[in-house]
Copies of this chain bind each other. A is one copy, B any other.
Amino acid sequence: MTTVLKLGGSVVTAKDEPETVDADALAAAADALADATDASNDADVVLVHGGGSFGHPHAAEHGVSPTAGTHDAGAVREIHGAMRRLNERVCAALGERGVPAVPHHPHSAGYVDGDETLALPPDGVGAKLDEGFLPVLHGDVVTHVGAGATVVSGDDLVVTLARGLDADRVGVCSTVPGVLDDGGDVIPEITAYADVADVLGGSDSTDVTGGMAGKVRALLALDAPVSLFGPDALAAFLAGDEPGTLVD
C-alpha cells in the first residue's frame, strides 16, 4: 500500500510572512504522520509539501512560474535554497518524532522534458521506500528544456509520483476542508469534471502553481482515489478514511 500525501504550503507555513514556518500546524501534521507510520515507514508514505512563504516570494521576485522560466542561475539557487530550508524544517519535525524522513529534492531528481512533461524517475523514490525511508519532496525550481528553469508545484509532483509509483491512495491536505460548492459546503465526491465545472470554472486562484480547476482535472486522471481535505482530517485520512472530497 503506497500513499502519496501532499501538505499544502499554506498548511505548514505562515503564507504572508517570508520564510516562516507555522510551527503549530507543522507539529500537528508531523504528529499525525508519526502516529500513522513507524520507524521503517512500513506504511509506504511519500510526502510532498508546497512552497508557501518560502518558495513563492522568491519565485515571484524573479518572475519564475510553471510556465515562465529563467536562465539566471542565481535565481535558481535562491528559489531552490529557500525550498531546501523549508524541507529541512519539515524533515526535522518528522525526524524528532521518529519518522524516518529523508529529503528528495526535485531540482536534482528531475526536469521538465521537451514534451512539457515532468521527468522524475520513480525508482529513486521507490528505492527510498524499499529501504524504509520516508521521502519528502517539495515544490521546487527544476530545469525545463528550452526554458531554463521553471517552478514545479507540489500538485504536479503528486500526480507524477502517484502515477510513477502506482500509488494506492493519494491525499491532498490544504487549508480548506475539500472542494466547496457554491454554498460553501464540501462536495463529498467528484467522478467527472462536468460534475463541478459550474463551481470551479471561474474560480482559478492567482496562485502561480494553478488553481482548483486544473488540480481537480489532473487528479481525476489518476487511477488512485484522491482525497482533498483540511488539516483537521489528516489523521483520519492516514487511518484509512476518506475525509473531505473524494476524487475518483
Contacts and interface: CB of A to CB of B under 8 A. Distances in A.
A108 B108 contact: yes
A39 B90 CA distance: 34
A149 interface: yes
Contacts of A99: 73
Interface string A126-164: 011011111000000001111111000000000000000
A196 B110 CA distance: 40
A226 interface: no
Copies of this chain, tallied across the complex: 2
Contact of A143 (B40, B81, B108, B131): B131
A133 B103 contact: no
Given A108-B104, A108-B105, A108-B108, A95 B74 contact: yes
A23 interface: no
B71 A131 contact: yes
Nearest to A133: B73
Contact of A109 (B100, B108, B148): B108
A74 B95 CA distance: 7
Contact of A101 (B73, B104, B108): B73
A contacts with B: majority SS: mixed
For chain A, the bracket of interface size reads: 35 or more
A32 interface: no
A133 B77 CA distance: 11
Given A71-B100, A77-B91, A77-B101, 20 more contacts: A73-B95, A73-B99, A73-B133, A77-B95, A80-B102, A81-B88, A84-B84, A103-B107, A108-B124, A109-B109, A111-B124, A113-B127, A121-B121, A124-B143, A127-B143, A127-B145, A131-B146, A131-B148, A132-B148, A133-B149
A119 interface: yes
